Chain A
């Protein structure tokens, strides 16, 4: 009755958006994009666009949110109503609430929270356009915004997903691959400590496949980590260059 669905990966191993199996979506990063925030970053990964902003550390209001021995993150992952195919209602969905929590827990280990007891650090991520991998792009952007704000960190956190689509193991799934594929494993990684700070999975994978997918995702994270550093340096290098010309 239903038509045979178009293949997501052709027999040359090329995906619907022209990428190879282990190729990241094209990434564009800018830091310090919002004037009011203490730190901010904008990341485009393929068609996914995320804006992240940091306010703080500042005194905790309401007081009961504060911890006596460390700073506390208040994270909000949110999708703009126009970010998806069918308009999404602005109120936080259960998915956004869960993702706000796992993203916060992915960022927590990277910051020296113990330096600022009794304070709050607000971290806002807005998905302006969604095409798969939004929680990963959000984590990448959040880490950049924190560095831009001058919050002391152990390492940058880079995030990337890998999974299984039509018998192939692929890196950085787009929205169609995520919806129609067999498995999706988003991972956030801090290379200095070989630390996986976000790990989720849905779908079905054998243990061997899972091991390979994790390797693939971590490889993607390392590449994104290098791009993060470049982007942070680029802000200051440009000023230096302008200086030397003028």
Chain B
């Protein structure tokens, strides 16, 4: 029933000791992910949606499509906006209110992976150049926090986008008129994130909440489907050496191939 984020010292020692032996509290290996459950299309009212469970972490993503004006410096492309909510019911440490720095960081890291990998073919979302485009709203909703919100959120956002339906339309007098039927949101890439926690100079993948509470630092590496890095984010108050960063990037590449199969299929 604890609402404190201070981890018991005894637990810290326990976790660190196990890790130096290559083991974790829940018996996983250093590069093992918890059980992943993905359910696409859980919210029918949304244009696209997904619920992802990563161990006990639970994240929902919903996609809504609206029409709007393009950014003046990219008049021929649709607009992508990613928001994240650390919903108070997800953790005793989440307070009600506007997104705090953690929620904002989460949203922006998820956004970077999608945007830089050009996962969505935004140019296909242009309706009237310079005037009307489709705006894709991705809302990440954290429902239960048991660590590694970033990876779960990226998987949820990607799954939601992959089952997002765009209504058919025609342009009449500069206005959009709906036609019957749907098309899939045009997707050209599948970014996947792998997050490491550093505990006593050892890197572990997919940290649980307990592990996050004792970690020195955190590193997220997002790769696109051809193995290029498209986003990175170091978090936490510790540091990494150059060697550790390279080690993490190589390990992440392998892992994302495995994870991508789970999210996107074969």
Chain A residues packing against B (C-beta within 8 Å): 94-95, 97-98, 100-102, 105, 108-109, 185, 190, 193-207, 210-211, 214-215, 218
Contacts and interface: CB of A to CB of B under 8 A. Distances in A.
Contacts of A214: 242, 245-246
Interface stretch (B10-18, B39-47, B86-94, B226-234): B226-234
A207 B234 contact: no
Contacts of B219: 199
A101 B100 CA distance: 10
Nearest to B238: A109
Interface string B44-65: 0000000000000000000000
B107 A94 contact: yes
A187 B68 CA distance: 36
Contacts of B115: 202
A197 B230 contact: no
B241 A196 contact: yes
Contacts of A102: 105, 233-235
B101 A97 contact: yes
Interface in B214-249: 219, 224, 227-242, 245-246, 249
B105 A200 contact: no
Given A202-B116, A205-B228, A210-B229, 5 more contacts: A94-B108, A98-B105, A206-B228, A214-B246, A218-B242
B230 A105 contact: no
A198 B234 contact: yes
Contact of A206 (B104, B227, B232, B241): B227
**A-B pairs with lowest CB-CB distance, top 3:** A201-B232, A195-B239, A108-B237
Given A190-B239, A194-B241, A210-B249, A200 B232 contact: yes
A40 B104 CA distance: 28
Given A207-B229, A214-B245, A195 B105 contact: no
B117 interface: yes
Interface in B100-138: 101-102, 104-105, 107-108, 112, 115-117
A41 to B, nearest CB: 22
B250 A196 contact: no
A94 B229 CA distance: 24
